[in-house]
Amino acid sequence: MKILFYYSVPSSKRFEPLIAIKGSAFFRRPNYDAMRLAYLTRNDEFYYFDERVEEKPNLLPDIIAFPVPLNLAYYVQTLAQEWRKHNVKTIAYGVYPSLFLNESKRHFDVVVRGDITTVWNRIIEDYKSGELADLYEAGDNPVVFKTRREFEKKYGLTPIISQLRTSYGCFCDPEFRDYCYEGVIYKKEHFWDPREVAQEVARIQRKMIYIIDDDFLYNIEYAKEILSRCWRLKKMWIFQTKGIVFKKYLGILNFLKEHGARIIYLKEDWLGKNLVQKIYNKDFIKEKEFEIGMIHKNRMTAGVKIMLGFEGENSRFYLELLKFLINIKVDFVEISVQTPLPFTETHRRLERSRRVNKDLSLYDKWMPVVRLNGMSQNELYNLLEFLRDGFYSWDSILRRLILVGPQLGFYNTVFFYLVPNLSYRDNFLEKVGYPP
């Protein structure tokens, strides 16, 4: 049985013959769901196609699985129709099918609502018996964590970083839940047994591992157990967490350093929404500078995720925000624009006032979808580009390097400061955006 996992991407990232692969390899990692599904069907012919690094496959599978994000829904629907002409069964899962069920049913043979790994074996069995249903609900079925990692070696993907998930679910603060994809797919939290996590890590050959959980430090004791079990393997960790770690668990930073943490991404809640007022507050500035300094003191680098595109923002605000980020010595930033998910309370409120764009192709957290008073969406986009351009300019990178390099040490400066900064700069200059 031939199974094809088709990973589609925006046109700005798509592979073109005779042209260099777009963007930085630092961000080009295989789709994690593909590795989980490959594990479940390891006795069948499972193929992984990645639009970022290769041409469309000359292959006629029995089943093709599509992850369908909101911004690529129309594009993937077109792809599915082409495959259906050849009697290939098309399966859609992800945020779009989970939100727009009836629309998805018109374009795909099978629609999965929720995590696809929870129903994958059932789909395969039903296909073989000729009783394939048009809808599969994840429900409360257990999530599959184990993976088959051969796709990490695919040409064009990063050769230095492996991925790992130890939990699934949305761990955002309430004010950010209307923007979180995890909350659409997972209605409850799922955690992997730390003993099995350690076994999985032992099988990973690479030293650098990106834990792609929504919040790795959500359960501090759980995270400490995992890192303690993996300590003998001498791995280097990258993960994200909420700002609450500084309020309750400041002492954890030394533990993280001793157990191999190298990059900590601070989620959007660390700075919050109301930055128009906050960045002028001296106490707020001192607090954030101290917290970043604590990360640097423990020889780790700090990435910050920021959500912008709210009322009150203007050109002066973006100039001051750039100064603020540089002055508190943030190492790198991921800047997104507020993109409330359809059918959430935030989206409904904006829809009632006719201030949200309904074109799903814009829902990539890069293009503005919310209309602000006194500012067009094009003006907002230009200000976001100004902020990215200013932060990842050569002057800014070198200035920040001079400020934090002595604290990080040579090795950490090269691999966990310079490489990410230059990678973000590369992606920005090529207009390929950040990874989802």
251 — pLDDT class (breaks 50, 70, 90)? confident
Q: Which CATH number fits domain 2-137: 3.40.50.970, 3.40.50.1000, 3.10.520.10, 3.40.50.280?
A: 3.40.50.280
pLDDT value of position 247: 76
- DSSP secondary structure string, 358-382? --GGGTTTTS--BPBTTB-HHHHHH
- By CB atoms closer than 10 A (0-12, 13-18, 19+), residue 229 is middle
Q: What percentage of residues in the chain have a pLDDT greater than 70?
A: 100
Q: Within the chain, which residue ranges are assigned CATH 3.40.50.280?
A: 2-137
Q: What average pLDDT does this structure show over 148-177?
A: 96
249 — pLDDT class (breaks 50, 70, 90)? confident
With residues binned 3-state (H G I as helix, E B as strand, rest as coil), the percentages for the chain, rounded to 5, are 45, 15, 40
Q: What average pLDDT does this structure show over 26-55?
A: 96
Q: Within the chain, which residue ranges are assigned CATH 3.30.750.210?
A: 160-264
Lowest pLDDT segment from 52-61, 90-99, 204-213: 52-61
Q: From CA 236, how far away is CA 233, in angstroms rounded?
A: 9
- By CB atoms closer than 10 A (0-12, 13-18, 19+), residue 47 is middle
Q: What percentage of residues in the chain have a pLDDT greater than 90?
A: 94
pLDDT value of position 140: 86
Residue 94: is its pLDDT beyond 80?
Answer: yes
Q: Which CATH number fits domain 271-281+292-409+419-436: 3.30.310, 3.10.450, 3.30.750, 3.40.50?
A: 3.30.750
**Which backbone phi and psi does 162 adopt, to 5 degrees?**
-105, 160
Query: 364-378 burial string, b = 16+ CB within 10 Å, else e?
Result: bbbbbbbbbeebebe
pLDDT in tens, 256-275: 999 999 999 999 999 999 99
pLDDT value of position 72: 97
Question: HSE on the CB side for 397, CA within 13 Å?
Answer: 18
64 — pLDDT class (breaks 50, 70, 90)? very high
Provide the mean pLDDT of the chain. Answer: 95
Contact present, 88 and 62 (Cβ < 8 Å)? yes
Q: From CA 424, how far away is CA 192, in angstroms rounded?
A: 31
245 — pLDDT class (breaks 50, 70, 90)? confident
Q: What average pLDDT does this structure show over 290-311?
A: 96
Residues 6+ apart with CB under 8 A from 29: 152, 157, 158, 161, 163, 210, 435
Residues 6+ apart with CB under 8 A from 102: none
pLDDT in tens, 360-416: 999 999 999 999 998 999 999 999 999 999 999 999 999 999 999 999 999 999 999
Contact present, 49 and 156 (Cβ < 8 Å)? no
pLDDT value of position 57: 87
Contact present, 328 and 285 (Cβ < 8 Å)? yes
Lowest pLDDT segment from 26-40, 83-97, 422-436: 422-436
pLDDT value of position 436: 52
CATH architecture, domain defined by 160-264: 2-Layer Sandwich (3.30)
Contact present, 234 and 209 (Cβ < 8 Å)? no
Closest CA to 273 of 216, 214, 340: 340
